[in-house]
Amino acid sequence: MHVKHILVAVAVFCAVAGIDSATAQEGSIAGNIFSGNGDPVSGASVRLDYLAPSQVYYETLTLSDGAFRFDRLPEGFCS
């Protein structure tokens, strides 16, 4: 099985200022991965790393149109 590895560098601040943990909101990050010639990349691994408040990560694979989505993300710094 051939695995595609593509580095997607995204720095995102996923926090809502002034929200305490009792009323924290969730967010989403979505996008598409395309090859150098503009074709969608299917089956690419996309990883979202949280840097704060804890070091956790989420992974998903792109769909046939190159789309990926992370839903219900907690607030924090991620890359």
Residue 36 gets the label, from left (phi > 0), alpha (psi -120 to 50) or beta, of alpha
39 phi/psi in degrees, rounded to 5: -80, 140
* Position 6 pLDDT exceeds 60: no
Q: Pick the residue with more confidence: 20 or 69?
A: 69
Contact (Cβ atoms closer than 8 angstroms) between residue 17 and residue 75:
no
In-domain check, residue 52: yes
pLDDT tens digits for 47-79?
988 776 667 888 999 999 999 999 888 777 666
Q: What is the per-residue pLDDT for 1?
A: 43
**Largest alpha-carbon pair distance within the chain?**
47
Tell me whether residue 18 is in a domain. no
Pick 59 or 6 by higher pLDDT.
Answer: 59
Average the pLDDT over each of 11-15, 29-33, 69-73 and give the range with the smallest value.
Answer: 11-15
Residue 34 lies in a domain: yes
Q: Supply the range of the domain harboring residue 30.
A: 4-12+25-78
The fraction of the chain above a pLDDT of 70, given in percent, is 62
Residue 20: inside a domain: no
Q: How many domains does the chain have?
A: 1
**Any domain includes 36:** yes
User: Tell me, what's the pLDDT at 72?
Assistant: 85
